[in-house]
Amino acid sequence: MASSHRTPRMRTFYVVWTGQLISTLGSGLTAFAVGVWLYQQTGTVSPLAFLLLFKALPVILLSPLAGTLVDRLDKRLTMILSDSGAAFTTLMLALLFSLGRVETWHLYVLVALASVFETFQVPAFFTSLTLLVPDDQYGRASGLTQVARALADILAPMLAGVLMAAIRVQGVLLIDFVTFLAAVSALLLVRFPASSLPADGTSQEHLLLREIMSGFRYIMERPGLSMLLVFFVFVFFLFGFIAALIEPLVLSITSPQVLGLVLSVAGVGLLGGSLTLSAWGGPRRRINGVLGFCLLFGLCVAGIGLRPVPGLIALAAFGAHFSAPFVNGLNQAIWQRIVAESIQGRVFAIQHMATRAAQALAFILAGPLADTVCEPLMAADGSLAGSVGAVLGVGDGRGIGLIFVVAGLLMALLAVLGALNPRLRLVEGDDKTLGSPVHAHGPVG
């Protein structure tokens, strides 16, 4: 096993990972620049939350179809076409900014179109890991995928703030376009090994709907996986509020430059957690790592909302982001370990669809909840000013801070309840969950 890091398959993984790292950095630049531009143009939370909603909708609607097609199609070619399509939408958005013709609905449409391509790219990438990575390296590979996200989170906010002043939003978008080309070039340099697993009974001549439903059945027939999916649906619902409101929370008390610094500190935490997971691989029972770090993540999220102090927000965000790779990476490793390769695209797509749907619901609720409920309650003359406001403070952004505290405490409680649930706690060892192994091709269920 010591040589597994040096196999040709792993070398292919490193090439692909490098291209995706560069592309993720470019996408981070765009996300920061467009998000700040939109919030500064409107001054309210709802348009930014709805931008995230339009990014999530294609994932919700198309994931089952995308996962089924990914199981049929060449995964490398799927990733090439997906990255190329996303590059095209980025170029169109850059053109609109250059012409000064950008309206909010343009952002919604093009972000949704880019998300369509991402809906195919994500299951293609994660199912390709099973082809490229030995099963004893799943945890480390998941950690490296988190490293890419972490590096983007560190560098993108700092760079985007500087680049927006120097080359404006359209320049940032053009850089993102070039990074997509880097990802495509990396994929063109390599070849993926063919799948060695036999089909699971689903053949080309079966109806597409039947293939899609087989992914649902695969999860529902395994109580441990079903409970794990339910757990992460609730996790992503709570996380949706955090994703939608973190920028408005910080911008309500400081400048975009300080926001970039806070997000970069958070990115350092994500990098630290990712590198730790990549080197360690996680605990033997990965679900223990998922639950333990989810508890820590929730407590840190609550800390983000405690006081309107950028330093405290940055420190708590560091802790939350340090925990995130363990929650996400170990969860992904559990699914890769259990789910049969021949059906992974469908199953991973359903997982992605369910969690994104929960996140989208949070995006819908976040803007109105912050703008019309919590912010008025936490104003200087609001109903909660004399009670909760005595702890959290009052004024701009304190209603959003209240949402962070509540969401963080609920996530911590969810982790405790998960540890008490035997189906979830035993997901990696339950006989039903691990049924029908394909022993000749590794530990899949």
Q: Please say whether the beta carbons of 186 and 329 come within 8 A.
A: no
Domain boundaries, position 247? 7-191+207-433
Q: Give the chain's mean pLDDT.
A: 85
Q: Is residue 425 part of a domain?
A: yes
pLDDT of residue 257 exceeding 50: yes
Q: Is residue 67 part of a domain?
A: yes
Residue 194 falls in which region: left (phi positive, over 0), alpha (psi -120 to 50) or beta: beta
Give the model's confidence band at 88: pLDDT under 50 very low, under 70 low, under 90 confident, else very high: very high
Give the model's confidence band at 196: pLDDT under 50 very low, under 70 low, under 90 confident, else very high: low
Other CB atoms within 10 Å distance of the CB of residue 416 = 12
Picking from 94, 62, 82, the residue whose alpha carbon sits closest to that of residue 20 is 82
DSSP 80-121: HHHHHHHHHHHHHHHHHHHHT---HHHHHHHHHHHHHHHHHH
pLDDT of residue 199 exceeding 70: no
DSSP 342-410: GGHHHHHHHHHHHHHHHHHHHHHHHHHIIIIIIHHHTSTTSTTTTTTHHHH--STTHHHHHHHHHHHHH
Give the model's confidence band at 7: pLDDT under 50 very low, under 70 low, under 90 confident, else very high: low
Looking at residue 263, its pLDDT comes to: 87
Tell me the percentage of the chain whose pLDDT exceeds 90: 48
Looking at residue 443, its pLDDT comes to: 25
Tell me the percentage of the chain whose pLDDT exceeds 70: 90
pLDDT of residue 201 exceeding 70: no
Picking from 60, 323, 345, the residue whose alpha carbon sits closest to that of residue 195 is 345
238/441 Cα distance (integer angstroms): 37
Q: Please say whether the beta carbons of 428 and 337 come within 8 A.
A: yes
CATH of the domain at 133: 1.20.1250.20
273/236 Cα distance (integer angstroms): 19
- Which is more confidently placed, 383 or 140? 383
pLDDT of residue 404 exceeding 90: yes
75/231 Cα distance (integer angstroms): 29
Supply the DSSP symbol for 60: H
Looking at residue 156, its pLDDT comes to: 85
Q: Is residue 197 part of a domain?
A: no
Exposed / middle / buried, residue 320 (Cβ in 10 Å: 0-12, 13-18, 19+): buried
pLDDT of residue 103 exceeding 70: yes
Task: Give the range with max mean pLDDT: 9-23, 217-231, 269-283.
Answer: 217-231
335/341 Cα distance (integer angstroms): 10
Identify the weakest region by mean pLDDT among 106-115, 149-158, 410-419.
Answer: 149-158
Q: Per the structure, how many domains does the chain have?
A: 1
Looking at residue 430, its pLDDT comes to: 47
pLDDT of residue 42 exceeding 80: yes
Q: Is residue 383 part of a domain?
A: yes
Q: Is residue 200 part of a domain?
A: no
Give the model's confidence band at 339: pLDDT under 50 very low, under 70 low, under 90 confident, else very high: confident
pLDDT of residue 400 exceeding 90: yes
Other CB atoms within 10 Å distance of the CB of residue 220 = 11
With a CB cutoff of 8 Å and minimum separation 6, the contacts of 100 are: none
238/46 Cα distance (integer angstroms): 17
- Which is more confidently placed, 275 or 404? 404
Q: Is residue 202 part of a domain?
A: no
Looking at residue 197, its pLDDT comes to: 46
Q: Is residue 183 part of a domain?
A: yes
Report the first-to-last Cα separation within the chain, whole angstroms.
Answer: 22
245/403 Cα distance (integer angstroms): 9
pLDDT of residue 441 exceeding 70: no
Other CB atoms within 10 Å distance of the CB of residue 10 = 19
304/370 Cα distance (integer angstroms): 16
Looking at residue 294, its pLDDT comes to: 97
pLDDT of residue 275 exceeding 90: no
Give the model's confidence band at 195: pLDDT under 50 very low, under 70 low, under 90 confident, else very high: low
Give the model's confidence band at 281: pLDDT under 50 very low, under 70 low, under 90 confident, else very high: confident
Q: Is residue 186 part of a domain?
A: yes
Looking at residue 349, its pLDDT comes to: 77
The tokens describing 126, both together, are 């994660």
Cα–Cα distances (Å) from 410 to 158, 175, 294, 295, 413, in that order, read 31, 39, 11, 10, 5
pLDDT of residue 104 exceeding 70: yes
